[in-house]
């Protein structure tokens, strides 16, 4: 194990990703500093870290997004580096710059790379200039509705309207004809403006039934760039990823090589350092298009870790410490198949509405090939202030069919009571014949998921029988039953032993 480049690292995040980074810090012998908002005082990352500091009230704008406070804590407590996790400040160039100005290493790319890749319009332009395939689109500098609509007509409908500063599906609209454009443009601008403070939008050709395939990149400060293979992320709902797997069932070896080379070229073009992800859209004919580059550790990074056997957080820390990559491309080997299910506090029977509340019962799945990344515990209050992602269930197996069965098995063991979760949804996906065959695209959920059609008769019957039995014998509330499980007395070895003991005494 390489000597760690830092003695102390601050983790500017919460929940499962804070736990993920903390674990690697502990393995590397690095002292960890956690920050937390007032509502997170009892949570796992606060209890796990070596040093902890409160940085403000629950709303993230007053705590986890406060660049000044995070940097101040790092300076005061002599953290030499900051890991931003994902979300919050992870892709904020101002934050990376503030770290640099304070003499603290930002565990991620440079502020310049964050800026360049954060501007989706600019990123497309620079990638296109080095020959990366880009989805046919209108000149992104077009401003008036008239000019945009006439460009869309030339391109041919349907077209996709996207936010220039976008991400996470915000501001995206699909227009099927010119008549629908004016109102969609207006809606997209207003959503982009509220979400990113930047109302610029652009249009591009809409690819029906695409797959979302992304490549993991590692790049050191000496200009060495390698890729760790792809992740298939086409199981999405409203552009939010729900299930990811690696390798992608859609890639042939030839296509994989082509896309990987494109991803490495993209990273080099961006002068990229640290861990990053190059996202592509893949159409039904095997043509792929550069979508964007994600300049952070991704939520779905564990699937790559399981098939490569690498620790991406460790690599990030080593790169940020100025180390040369310890691997050449030929050292990276892929083995088996990994799948991740994002477990969210959302109700899959009810339009995926967020579900806040306390987790009254929790049993994580265990057994062969199962990995749990989570920040929850029995008694955890799911707060409304943050992302609804509460846990990531990841499995590895020797091949895809086995991995799907394993995920199904792990999901059946998973017990989270007190809030609605997406566990039943994931169970449905794992049982779907098309998912099992690996034949799906980004419209899979919208086209196929109909919660009202899921047959619950079996578990409902069992629940009904249980309640009837408990009511009949007036139990289940406080006192144990004699009638329902009449065997109970004779089956209890403790009572049996005690009675024998008493009998002896009597004799």
Looking at the annotation, which residues are catalytic? 296
Q: Which is nearer to another protein, 62 or 221 (CB)?
A: 62
Q: Which is nearer to another protein, 266 or 345 (CB)?
A: 345
- In terms of Cα–Cα distance, which of 210, 200, 204 is closest to 155? 204
Rounded CA-CA distance 61/50 in Å is: 25
- CB of 451 vs another protein, minimal distance in Å: 11
Q: What is the 3-state secondary structure (H, E, C) of 121-154?
A: HHHHHHHHHCCCCECCECCCCCCCHHHHHHHHHH
- CB of 456 vs another protein, minimal distance in Å: 7
Rounded CA-CA distance 254/248 in Å is: 13
Rounded CA-CA distance 385/409 in Å is: 32
Q: 263: which 2 tokens? A: 């991803």
Q: Which is nearer to another protein, 179 or 458 (CB)?
A: 458
- CB of 119 vs another protein, minimal distance in Å: 21
- CB of 356 vs another protein, minimal distance in Å: 6
- CB of 90 vs another protein, minimal distance in Å: 14
Is 345 within 8 Å of 390 (Cβ atoms)? yes
- CB of 268 vs another protein, minimal distance in Å: 33
Q: Which residues neighbour 380 within 8 Å (Cβ) at sequence distance 6 or greater? A: 42, 43, 358, 359, 362, 390
3 state SS of 319: helix
Rounded CA-CA distance 219/429 in Å is: 35
Q: Which is nearer to another protein, 263 or 410 (CB)?
A: 410
Q: 189: which 2 tokens? A: 């601008």
Q: Which is nearer to another protein, 200 or 426 (CB)?
A: 426
Rounded CA-CA distance 210/213 in Å is: 9
Q: Which is nearer to another protein, 53 or 427 (CB)?
A: 427
| β-pair partners for 171 | none
Q: Beginning with the edge strand found earlier in the chain, give each strand of the sheet holding 51-56 in spatial order.
A: 51-56, 31-37, 8-11, 81-83, 105-106
Residues near another protein (CB under 8 A): 238, 240, 351-356, 361, 384-388, 411-412, 414-415, 417, 420, 423-424, 427, 456-473, 475-481, 483-486, 488
* Cα torsion angle, 488, 494, 495, 499, sign: positive
Q: Which is nearer to another protein, 459 or 507 (CB)?
A: 459
- In terms of Cα–Cα distance, which of 170, 102, 160, 120 is closest to 136? 160
Helix, strand, coil % over all residues of the chain, rounded to 5: 40, 25, 35
- CB of 91 vs another protein, minimal distance in Å: 15
Q: Which is nearer to another protein, 353 or 497 (CB)?
A: 353
Q: 414: which 2 tokens? A: 């998973």
- CB of 457 vs another protein, minimal distance in Å: 7
Contacts from 150-155 at CB under 8 Å and sequence distance 24+? Answer: 151/203, 152/178, 152/181, 152/203, 153/178, 155/203, 155/204, 155/205
- CB of 466 vs another protein, minimal distance in Å: 5
Q: What is the 3-state secondary structure (H, E, C) of 374-417?
A: ECCCCCCEECCCCCCEEEEEEEEECCHHHHHHHHHHHHHHCEEE
Q: Which is nearer to another protein, 62 or 283 (CB)?
A: 62
436: buried, middle or exposed (CB in 10 Å: 19+, 13-18, 0-12)? middle
144: buried, middle or exposed (CB in 10 Å: 19+, 13-18, 0-12)? exposed
């Amino acid at each position: 194990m390489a000597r760690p480049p830092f003695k102390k690292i601050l983790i500017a995040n919460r929940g499962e990703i804070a736990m993920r980074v903390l674990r690697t810090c502990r393995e590397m012998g690095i002292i960890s500093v956690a920050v937390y908002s007032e509502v997170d005082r009892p949570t796992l990352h606060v209890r796990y870290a070596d040093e902890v500091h409160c940085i403000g009230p629950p709303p993230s704008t007053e705590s986890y997004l406060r660049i000044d406070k995070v940097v101040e804590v790092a300076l005061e407590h002599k953290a030499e580096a900051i890991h931003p996790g994902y979300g919050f400040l992870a892709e904020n160039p101002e934050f990376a710059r503030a770290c640099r100005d304070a003499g603290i290493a930002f565990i991620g790319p440079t502020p310049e790379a964050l800026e360049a890749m954060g501007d989706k319009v600019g990123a497309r332009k620079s990638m296109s200039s080095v020959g990366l395939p880009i989805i046919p689109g209108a000149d992104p500098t077009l401003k008036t509705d008239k000019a945009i609509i006439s460009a869309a007509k030339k391109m041919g409908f349907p077209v996709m309207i996207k936010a220039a500063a976008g991400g996470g599906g915000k501001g995206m609209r699909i227009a099927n004809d010119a008549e629908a454009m004016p109102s969609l443009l207006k809606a997209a601008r207003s959503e982009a403006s509220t979400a990113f403070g930047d109302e610029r939008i652009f249009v591009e050709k809409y690819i029906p039934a695409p797959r979302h395939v992304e490549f993991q990149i590692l790049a050191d400060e000496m200009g060495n760039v390698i890729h760790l293979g792809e992740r298939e992320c086409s199981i999405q709902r409203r552009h939010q990823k729900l299930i990811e797997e690696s390798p992608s069932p859609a890639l042939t070896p030839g296509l994989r090589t082509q896309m990987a080379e494109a991803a490495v070229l993209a990273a080099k073009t961006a002068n990229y350092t640290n861990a990053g992800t190059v996202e592509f859209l893949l159409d039904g004919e095997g043509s792929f298009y550069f979508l964007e580059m994600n300049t952070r550790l991704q939520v779905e990074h564990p699937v790559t870790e399981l098939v490569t056997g690498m620790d991406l957080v460790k690599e990030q820390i080593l790169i940020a410490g100025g180390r040369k990559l310890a691997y050449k491309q030929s050292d990276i080997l892929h083995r088996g198949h990994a799948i991740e299910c994002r477990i969210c506090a959302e109700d899959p029977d009810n339009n995926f509405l967020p579900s806040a509340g306390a987790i009254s019962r929790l049993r994580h799945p265990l057994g062969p090939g199962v990995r749990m990344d989570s920040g929850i515990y029995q008694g955890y209050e799911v707060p409304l202030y943050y992302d609804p992602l509460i846990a990531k269930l990841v499995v590895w197996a020797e091949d895809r069919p086995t991995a799907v069965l394993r995920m199904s098995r792990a999901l059946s063991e998973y017990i989270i009571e007190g809030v609605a979760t997406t566990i039943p949804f994931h169970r449905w996906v794992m049982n779907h014949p098309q998912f099992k065959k690996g034949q799906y695209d980004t419209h899979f959920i919208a086209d196929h998921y109909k919660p009202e059609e899921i047959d619950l008769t079996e578990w409902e019957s069992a629940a009904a029988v249980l309640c009837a039995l408990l009511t009949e014998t007036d139990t289940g509330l406080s006192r144990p039953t004699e009638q329902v499980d009449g065997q109970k007395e004779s089956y209890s070895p403790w009572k049996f032993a005690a009675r024998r003991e008493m009998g002896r005494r009597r004799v």
